[in-house]
């Protein structure tokens, strides 16, 4: 079961906001022994959002989605999720309770009595209209929930949170810790690498291919760096995967580098 991330919003693609979700989701997953398999950025275009979700709903993946679940004209994610699933939107009863709790809290802070049927408060309830069949994700910041819905494949699910990091991140943590704790640290992984200086990748490619052929549970990675005023041109060359095979593969890598008379050092 792969894990994916969809980040929705014109403000990210235009550069008005710098995306902070991608590195944070990597951090949340890594702390639990999990890995992100893919990520996509999508602007506030309803057709594109719907088509993206229709495709990912057909998968068996665990998918985190952030952005566009508010109730302003540029928020389309709730409607697009419903369209992608071929279902309608409906006010979720648990979401209604939480949103009205937020309305009461806001009124109390202002020293006034909440008027639940005031136009602005009725409009707030739209934030609790989710695709039919959804469940809520609690929001510890301001109580207005996100939602999740199973994939049409019967495996995996999509989890929708606001674009605000202060809300989305604890909501995603809740999803992981409440629904997927059984997946934590199930697959042991290790990674080891070296910095190889002033050597072209073409010279290293046969060694990389030989390592992957001999160790099927290991992936070899090669990340070239052009160098700067602090370090010479080099390649971050390494292996990652099943721990015991990583150890053997790394030894083979170092042997190969010595045979090539490579100038290298262990990465920090």
Q: How confident is the model at residue 231 (pLDDT cuts 50, 70, 90)?
A: confident
- The CB density around residue 1, as the number of other CB atoms within 10 Å, is 11
What digits encode the pLDDT tens for the residues 132-180?
A: 999 999 999 999 999 999 999 899 999 999 999 999 999 999 999 999 9
Reply yes or no on domain 190-266 having CATH 1.10.468.10. Answer: no
Least confident stretch, 55-69, 114-128, 147-161, 219-233:
219-233
Cβ-Cβ contacts under 8 Å for 253 (sequence gap 6 or more):
194, 207, 211, 220, 237, 238, 239
pLDDT band at 1 (very low <50, low <70, confident <90, very high): confident
**Tokens 């290298």, residue?**
264
189 pLDDT exceeds 90?
no
pTM beyond 0.85, yes or no: yes
Q: What's domain 3-183's architecture?
A: 3-Layer(aba) Sandwich (3.40)
The domain ranges of the chain are 3-183, 190-266
């Amino acid at each position: 079961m792969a894990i994916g991330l969809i980040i929705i919003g014109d403000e990210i693609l235009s550069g008005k906001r710098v995306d902070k979700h991608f590195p944070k989701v990597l951090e949340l997953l890594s702390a639990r022994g999990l890995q992100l398999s893919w990520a996509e950025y999508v602007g506030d275009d309803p057709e594109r959002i719907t088509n993206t979700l229709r495709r990912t709903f057909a998968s068996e993946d665990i998918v985190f989605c952030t952005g566009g679940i508010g109730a302003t004209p540029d928020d389309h994610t709730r409607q697009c999720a419903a369209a992608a699933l071929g279902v309608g939107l409906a006010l979720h009863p648990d979401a209604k309770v939480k949103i009205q709790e937020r309305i009461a809290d806001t009124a109390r802070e202002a020293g006034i009595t909440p008027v639940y049927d005031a136009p602005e408060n009725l409009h707030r309830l739209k934030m609790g209209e989710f695709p039919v069949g959804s469940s809520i994700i609690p929001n510890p910041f301001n109580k207005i929930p996100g939602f999740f819905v199973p994939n049409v494949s019967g495996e995996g699910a999509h989890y929708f949170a606001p674009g605000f990091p202060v809300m989305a991140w604890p909501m995603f943590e809740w999803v992981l810790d409440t629904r997927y704790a059984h997946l934590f640290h199930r697959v042991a992984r290790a990674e080891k690498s070296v910095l190889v200086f002033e050597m072209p990748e073409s010279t290293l490619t046969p060694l990389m291919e030989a390592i992957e052929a001999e160790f099927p549970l290991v992936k070899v990675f090669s990340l070239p760096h052009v160098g700067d005023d602090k370090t010479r041109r080099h390649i971050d060359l390494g292996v990652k995967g099943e721990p015991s095979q990583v150890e053997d593969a790394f030894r083979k890598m170092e042997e190969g580098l010595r045979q090539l008379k490579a100038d290298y050092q262990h990465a920090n």
